[in-house]
Structure 1
Amino acid sequence: MANQDILPPEILQNIFSYLATYQPTLHSCTLVSNSWYKSSVAFLYNSPAIDGKNFDGFVKAICPSVNAHVRVNGLAALVRKLDMSLLVHNGSKSLTARLLGRVKGNLEEFVAPQASFAYA
């Protein structure tokens, strides 16, 4: 048994709950071991910090396939709060619609992305 696996999952989850707003740190925790991943991934995806840099990667993690029945993963069920206010959409909204379709089952709070308008 590795040293990081000595703590029971309940203790790890308690520790990770204090890191809920530190997404890069939580991401690092998911990479330590399988037990750390299982204990920290829910906190990482509970209220993800989404911006223009990580939006595509987040969508690919939640919606790995265009077809809803293909490669459905459990990450979408972990998202409770989705704040997309840092995004500005000015083109196709299909990725956003696909993302919302996947997370809508457990979503408790949603903040829509900004919309940009242009004159023709």
Structure 2
Amino acid sequence: MKIGDPIYRGAEVRLPAEVVTMIMAYVASSNSPDTQKSLWASCLVSKTWYAASISHLYYSPHLSPRNFDLFTRTICPPLKARRTRIGIEDMIKHLDMREIAYESSNSLTSRLINRTKASLQGFHSPAVTFS
């Protein structure tokens, strides 16, 4: 094997679920601007890493104009869609929409709040008045 070879051909190393959970708690507790990206990337590693990181990823999602549409389509599918609820909305505890100015309509914002109201502990309204 050459130094710097990107393909690892050795035995797979499996960490216990408890260790992965502790790693994800540590990553989630850091105040780094890349925390959301790190949690998202860890969801893609394996089923164990996904299970340990998904609740941290949606605990307080970082919403921006760039990702708001995809986020709302995931949490609140269109009314005519025949998708059932997937349970992610119960993981959202803090919803901060201050960076969202004109990306959200009042009806979409109210649907999002309605879907997350059972578990929501904190809410910051969008920059435009919500009435």
Same fold (TM over 0.5): yes
Cα distance change on mapping 1:2 and 1:76 into 2, 3 Å: farther
**Does structure 1 residue 7 correspond to structure 2 residue 15?**
yes
Q: Which amino acid aligns with 2:124?
A: V
Cα distance change on mapping 1:35 and 1:97 into 2, 3 Å: same
Q: Which amino acid aligns with 1:50?
A: L
**Does structure 1 residue 108 correspond to structure 2 residue 121?**
yes
Structure having the higher Rg: 2
**What is aligned with 1:41?**
54
The 8 Å contact of residues 90 and 116 in structure 2, kept in 1 or not, is answered as yes
**What is aligned with 1:51?**
64
The 8 Å contact of residues 90 and 115 in structure 1, kept in 2 or not, is answered as no
**Does structure 1 residue 86 correspond to structure 2 residue 99?**
yes
Q: How far apart, in 1, do the equivalents of 2:111 and 2:12 lie?
A: 39
The 8 Å contact of residues 97 and 126 in structure 2, kept in 1 or not, is answered as yes
TM superposition shift of 1:68: 9.5
The 8 Å contact of residues 76 and 112 in structure 2, kept in 1 or not, is answered as yes
Q: Which amino acid aligns with 2:19?
A: I
Residues 35-73 of structure 1: CA deviation (Å, up to 9, x unaligned): 111110000000000010000111112123426984101
Instruction: Structure 2: give runs of 5+ residues left out of the alignment.
Output: 1-10
| Identity rate, percent | 36
Q: Which amino acid aligns with 1:52?
A: P
Q: How many residues align?
A: 114
**Does structure 1 residue 18 correspond to structure 2 residue 31?**
no
TM superposition shift of 1:17: 1.4
Instruction: Structure 1: give runs of 5+ residues left out of the alignment.
Output: none
The 8 Å contact of residues 12 and 36 in structure 1, kept in 2 or not, is answered as yes
TM superposition shift of 1:13: 1.5
The 8 Å contact of residues 95 and 122 in structure 2, kept in 1 or not, is answered as yes
The 8 Å contact of residues 68 and 103 in structure 2, kept in 1 or not, is answered as no
CA RMSD of aligned residues (A): 2.2
For residue 29 of structure 1, the aligned residue among 42, 66, 88 is: 42
Give the match's secondary structure for 2:27: coil
- TM (norm. structure 2) is 0.77
Which has the larger displacement, 11-20 or 47-56?
11-20
